Every structure is written in structure tokens, then in C-alpha cells.
Amino acid sequence: MVHLVGSLRKELADCLSTSKVLVVGAGGIGCELLKNLVLTGFKNIEVIDLDTIDVSNLNRQFLFQKKHVGKSKAQVAKESALQFCPSANITAYHDSIMNPDYNVEFFRKFVLVMNALDNRAARNHVNRMCLAADIPLIESGTAGYLGQVTVIKKGMTECYECQPKPTQKTFPGCTIRNTPSEPIHCIVWAKYLFNQLFGEEDADQEVSPDTADPEAAWNPEETAARATASEKDGDIKRISTKEWARSTGYDPIKLFNKLFKDDIMYLLTMDKLWKKRKAPIPLDWQQLENNLEQEQHTPGLGLKDQQVLGVWGYCKLFQQSVETLRSQLQEKGEGAELVWDKDDPPAMDFVTSAANLRMHIFSMNMKSRFDVKSMAGNIIPAIATTNAVIAGLIVLEGLKILSGELESCRTIFLNKCPNLRKKLLVPCVLDPPSANCYVCASKPEVTVKLNVHKTAVLTLQDRILKERFGMVAPDVQIEDGKGTILISSEEGETEANNSKFLGDFGIRNGSRLQADDFLQDYTLLITVLHTEELERDVEFEVVGEAPDKAPPPQSNKEEVNSITNGNKDSAQPSTSSKAPSEDDDIMIVDSDEDEGASSSAAVAAAVGTKRKHSDAGTGETSTKRPRTDQSSAAAAPTDDDDDIIALD
């Protein structure tokens, strides 16, 4: 007769009480997971999270209360979980999992690692540490009503990096500055404008008309005089946006006329831009004020944030937000800067009003504050119940692993709508490791195409090794027979090389570099392919990867969207509060469809067609894993509700 302890076999219950597990992340999924673990019978748990508790967390991270705001998530989660099971032994770390203290030996003391992370950089790192330590990893993610849990085991399953992940879509500067055609372009412009006026100025986030736009092909010296300015202070030939704004005392009306009248009139002088486009229509504050009677906004039904104001309504909102932000700057003192935060009302009001005014100028339908916030924060609304379901599935997969039943583990997708078999949860068999994976292959190798005469050593270190290939502290040696050290993780040792180009070290077409990351116990061989034919603004390409193309069709497999949960590849490498738009239950969305749709609408569209299924953010397709029950797929090969969404 089977002896049960609660709902578990005694042998398994005993195993839980002695097994040491690591939870990485104590946010939306992490809180639910920690609670589930102690209630299931896990006694030895370590949890790590760098973040602190924010008021916005309280609607879904139920281990936290208002009195905890500002405190360590990991520490408070530990204290709250102990109230469910005071006998549990929980260790909390308020730290980044990418700290060198958490090395391979640290990971080897666990029998199981469970991820509840908010960004890809940290996910990549934990994936590599678990591979190096040969410890099973349960990866998870949620986005709105969608969720996914999968198991990663060295040599048995795909690792987290076996399949390339789509990168966040970016937009050309000339599109943002000169020829916006979608609401998202105007929202990005408004966020740039906030930083240029009130935050940290960035030359790559300029908002003035782009006179170097190759499409314009005009002579600015001849036509600049045609753009008349209503204020001397509004001369577009300013050196610094912030400096000019300060010279006006952050006068909202002067700012308005400069941004929405003078700059637009200047754009109109670029005749060639408007031959096949509808030309923008400048706005004038005085004229709008005089016509106020003609455009009274009638409040609509529904929540205030979901109403779309009239042009004058956004003019007044712009004025109010500028005055509030100006006061905040003055209170902070000379040289102070503000940081844009989607949860800061004046900052959100500024972006909402500025973006909508620009949409109107370029003949787009204006958007509600709710829609602007969704796109500006790159988020899908967090759903507490989704986190709870996914956390429960993580524990169930963990029980299989501890029972020695790894072969019965599955990738499980939580769908928004039931399929024809009335199932919301769809299990799929785990795929084997990819032979071409540059992480878990026996000898990881990649070929990188770049211009050795234009690529600096610092670019190789930061953009290629750290950002693209997920290394934390790389050491690079040239395989030139001399063992030349190009990059050292020891501070200051190779700093003099940073500004030099790869070609200065004899690196040429066909050269090989050995990149080691001792923290991750990871070595990558890089073959350099020299080229002078890269597209404009492209620093390098990884040969064999084409994120803008669909993979070849595969027999007996369905296909699935790949939607990224968390920040882009260059995200903060931790569950860090330094990235205010991130959380473990949000998703970056840059829709290729009508950018007027909210991010939630983008995801709804993503659950549309089957087969060659395009990603909401990049247009990239990816392969759906085969199901354990193929009859469901065969029964309805074209049913939209039967789709599976793969989350990061």
C-alpha cells in the first residue's frame, strides 16, 4: 500500500524536505512559486532578486503589502513565505544572479533551479550556469493571459539559447524625426523628447528634423529661409534642445510652437519627402486657442484613461505636464535630470499629449492615454492568475524531476482560449539539443561577419560578446600562434586596446578568436568573416542567422509565435529596478501591424493564423514543438484557437 504524506508519496515528500532548490526572481511568478514550494513541502529554498518592491507590484505580487514598499523583494518574500511554513529554511539574497559570487560551485549545491526572471540577459546567464553545473532548470514566462513552462537539462533537451530569439524592433532615426507613419513612431519621438528636455540627453535620440535624411535629397541652405519661425527662441538651429528650452524658461507655449509648428514647417521645406506622402499640417497655439469654441471635447463613456481627447485637450495637457515637470526640475536643483517612468503621471501626460499632437499633425488617429501607456511602456497588462497557473506548473514539473521522471517532463503552454479539445494547457514533448547551438554544443562555434577596419575592440567586447552572445566577463585570445590577448576580464589589463580596430591586431578574413567566460564556464570559438558590404548602421552579422526570414518548413511539426517576455537582449542583467518598464510578467511588443492598436491588441493578432506564424515584434517565425497528442493537431489544422504561443 502506498504511504502518502499529504498528497505525495512518502519517498517523494522526504525528498522534497531534503532537496535544496534555487528560485531566481521574486516578482509576479516568483511570489506565487515561493508560496507553492513551501506549501508543497520544500524545506530548503534559496531565492535571489535584485529588485525592491514598488507600489505597482502590489496588485499581483501577493507576498508584498504597502508597508513593504522600498524593501528587498527577496527578503520580504522569504518572510511572507515563512508564515505559511515556519519550519522551512529559506535564504534570501538581495543581489544580481550575475554577481561573480554565484559561480558554478554555487549552482552545484542545488538539485533544481527555477527561473522567474524579467529579462533575457539573466535568463541566458542562468541557462549557462545550469549547463555548466549540470543541474536541471525550469524556465518560465508569462504575457497577459499567455504562459509557458519548460524544462532544460544538459544533453537531453534544448537549452534556452538553442533557438535564436527575435530582437526588439527599432526604427530608423529619419522615420522618427521626419516621416512618422504609425502611432508608435510618434510615441517613441515623445519619449525621446522627454529625455531631451527633462532627462539625460542622448545624441541618438534627437527629435529635431533630420537634415541628413537621404530620402530628402534637398539643399537646406536654399530652403531653410522658407521655414518661418514664430519665435526667435524657436530657431531650429539650436545646439542643445535642453539648453534652448531652458533659455525659454520651459515656456509651454514656446515649446509647443517650436515642436508642432516651426519644426513641422521646416519639414515641409523638404519637398521630396511629401511627393508620395500626405504632408504634415503644422499647429499654432494662438490659432487653436481662438478656435476653442469649435472643438470642445465631450467626455465619453468609460474610464478617463481610455478616452481620446480633442486637439485642444491635448494642448492643455501638454501645457500642464510641462509646467509640472519644470517645477520638479527646479525642486531638484541645478543640473538635475528626470527619469521617464510610465507610472509617473506628469511624465505619462507629457508623452501622451506630445505623441497625440504629433499623430494629429501627421494625419493619424489619436490614441487614449491607456493605449499610449501600453505602447510607451512596451507592456502587456499583468494577469495575476496567469502567474499563479504558471507557478503551479513549475512545481509539477519539479516534482517529476525529483521523482526521477525527467523523460515525462514537458513544455507546457497556457493559451488564452481553449482549443477544440477544450484545453487551455497544451503539453509538448521536449526537443533535443540543437547541434548548431552556440551554447550547449560540445564545441560551440559561430561565424561573425564584420569590417575588421571599422570594428573596435570595445565593440567586440560590449556589442558582440556581452550583448549578442550573453557573456558577462569575456577574455579573448587570438588564435595566431602567439596567444595574443585581445580582451582581458581583469580590470585595466587590456584597456588600451579598446579604441583600436580588430585589423590593428592582424585580425583579417578567416581569423579565429577564442572567447572564454570563466564565470559561466563557457568557451566560444569565433571565426571572423571580413566584409565591407554591411548595411548602414549594422555593425556585425552572425552568419547563418536571418531573423527577418522564416525557417524552412519541417514535417510533422506545427509552428508557433515566439513572443519575448522581458527586456531586449541588452536588458539590465538582473531582476533590476534600474529598468522601470520591466517586470517578470510583462512583454516587449513592437507590433508590425497598425501601431495604433494597443500592445494587448498586438498579442491578440498574434494568435491569429497557423502555419507560417509571424512574431508580433519582429515578423520572425519559429517552429512549434510537436505535441504529445497529435490527434488534436490533426483534428483542426487551421483552427485559430488551437495556437500555441511560445514565450521567453
**Euclidean distance between CA atoms 226 and 365, whole angstroms:** 29
Contact 106, 113 (CB under 8 A): no
Q: For the chain, what is the mean pLDDT?
A: 79
Q: Is 416 annotated as a binding residue?
A: no
Instruction: Choose between 622 and 288: higher pLDDT.
Output: 288
Given this model, what pLDDT does residue 86 score?
Answer: 94
Query: With bands split at pLDDT 50, 70 and 90, how would you rate the model's confidence at 636?
Result: very low
Q: Which of 284, 329, 312, 289 is nearest to 194 (CA)?
A: 329
Q: Is 119 annotated as a binding residue?
A: yes
Q: Is 396 annotated as a binding residue?
A: no
Q: Is 410 annotated as a binding residue?
A: no
Q: Is 26 annotated as a binding residue?
A: yes
Where in the chain are the domains?
A: 4-166+381-429, 173-223+238-292+301-377, 445-543
**Euclidean distance between CA atoms 339 and 320, whole angstroms:** 18
CA–CA distances in Å: residue 537 to residues 11, 209, 454, 526, 532:
59, 19, 12, 22, 12
Q: Is 29 annotated as a binding residue?
A: yes
pLDDT digits (tens, 9 = 90+) for 312-347: 999 999 999 999 999 999 898 887 889 888 888 999
pLDDT digits (tens, 9 = 90+) for 161-206: 998 776 556 677 788 889 998 899 999 999 999 999 999 877 777 8
Clarify whether 174 is annotated catalytic. yes
> How many residues are given for the chain?
648
Q: Is 155 annotated as a binding residue?
A: no
Position 103, amino acid? N
Query: With bands split at pLDDT 50, 70 and 90, how would you rate the model's confidence at 563?
Result: very low
Fold classification of 445-543 (topology level): 3.10.290
Given this model, what pLDDT does residue 216 score?
Answer: 60
Query: With bands split at pLDDT 50, 70 and 90, how would you rate the model's confidence at 300?
Result: low
Q: Is 225 annotated as a binding residue?
A: no
Q: Is 456 annotated as a binding residue?
A: no
**Percent over 70 (pLDDT), the chain:** 75
Evaluate if residue 581 carries a pLDDT over 50: no
Calculate mean pLDDT across residues 239-245. Answer: 75
Query: With bands split at pLDDT 50, 70 and 90, how would you rate the model's confidence at 302?
Result: low
Q: Is 53 annotated as a binding residue?
A: no
Q: What is the pTM of this model?
A: 0.65
pLDDT digits (tens, 9 = 90+) for 366-410: 999 988 988 887 656 678 999 999 999 999 999 999 999 999 999
pLDDT digits (tens, 9 = 90+) for 453-507: 999 999 999 989 998 899 999 999 999 888 899 999 998 899 999 999 999 999 9
Between CA 354 and CA 360, with CA 357 as vertex, the angle to 5 degrees is 150
**Percent over 90 (pLDDT), the chain:** 53
pLDDT digits (tens, 9 = 90+) for 109-168: 999 999 999 788 899 999 999 999 999 999 999 988 899 999 999 999 999 999 877 655
Q: Is 635 annotated as a binding residue?
A: no
Which of these ranges, 73-82, 353-362, 536-545, 636-645, has the smallest mean pLDDT?
Answer: 636-645
CA–CA distances in Å: residue 362 to residues 147, 307, 507:
37, 20, 48
Given this model, what pLDDT does residue 224 score?
Answer: 47
Q: Is 329 annotated as a binding residue?
A: no
Which of 174, 409, 417, 428 is an active site residue?
Answer: 174
CATH of 4-166+381-429, one of 3.30.420.610, 3.40.640.10, 3.40.50.720, 1.10.287.4070: 3.40.50.720
- Whose cell is 515641409? That residue is 268
Q: Is 9 annotated as a binding residue?
A: no
Q: How many CB atoms lie within 10 A of CB 546?
A: 12
Coil, helix or strand at residue 490: coil
Given this model, what pLDDT does residue 538 score?
Answer: 82
Calculate mean pLDDT across residues 19-27. Answer: 96
Evaluate if residue 556 carries a pLDDT over 60: no
Q: What's the first-to-final CA gap in the chain, in angstroms?
A: 42
Given this model, what pLDDT does residue 2 score?
Answer: 67
Q: Is 73 annotated as a binding residue?
A: yes
CATH architecture of 173-223+238-292+301-377: Orthogonal Bundle (1.10)
Calculate mean pLDDT across residues 268-292. Answer: 88
For the record, the C-alpha cell of 135 comes out as 543541474
Q: Is 147 annotated as a binding residue?
A: no
Instruction: Choose between 73 and 638: higher pLDDT.
Output: 73
The reply to whether 173-223+238-292+301-377 shares the fold of 4-166+381-429 is: no
Q: Is 27 annotated as a binding residue?
A: yes
Evaluate if residue 87 carries a pLDDT over 80: yes
Contact 9, 3 (CB under 8 A): yes
